[in-house]
Amino acid sequence: MKKVISYIVLIFIIASCSSDNSYKIDGTLYGGASFEGETIYMVSFGSSSVEDQDSAVIRNGRFHFEGSVDQPEVCELRMRPMMRLFIDKLVLIKEPGHVWVTLSKQSVAHGTALNDSLQQWREYKTKVDSVMYALSKKLKHAEGEEQEALEQEYDEVRHDFTKHNKEVVQRNDNVFGDYIDRYVR
């Protein structure tokens, strides 16, 4: 019986050691040559602590992060404050696998399941924001029945977006769902 238990424990140890928790993040910047030597910071989402940061220097318009992660974690890639006028910060999920990033005014990330889901959500949100912006511009000049119709349309778009987000949270019992849940509040 001791041998059987020893073998089971050994198999469990080997199986847990063989799981690959490594991640790679390869990125490029729009207008990369003009950012040569600048630093990209990877920060835990919602944290301003220096201890929660990793950094990479931009070389030939590219940057690279790699390491291991025990659990998927929501992070931000960002530059020093002055550079944020040109390059938008990017929320991504640090998870096992290979993520490709393009930093620009509308940064994107893809390559792993959670980052692909986050990118789809981000694209949906961009479309909703565009529609809501156009409606609010029209509302400034509308009166009477036209104003009422535009207000109703605006409320429907906002309601649909909230409903969509709640469905995303329900379908995703993971860090992606948690992030959207926090974002919606």
Q: How far apart are CA 185 and CA 179, in angstroms?
A: 10
Output the tens digit of pLDDT for each of the chain's 185 residues.
555 454 444 444 444 444 689 999 999 998 877 889 999 999 988 776 656 689 999 999 999 999 999 999 999 999 888 887 888 889 999 999 999 999 998 899 999 999 999 999 999 999 999 999 999 999 999 899 999 999 999 999 999 999 999 999 999 999 999 999 987 66
The amino acid present at 38, given as its one-letter code, is E
DSSP alpha helix (H) spans, 92-143: 113-141
Q: Say how many Å lie between the first and final Cα of the chain, rounded.
A: 54
Tell me the β-bridge partners of 92: 75
Q: How far apart are CA 23 and CA 112, in angstroms?
A: 10
Note the pTM of the prediction, 2 decimals: 0.82
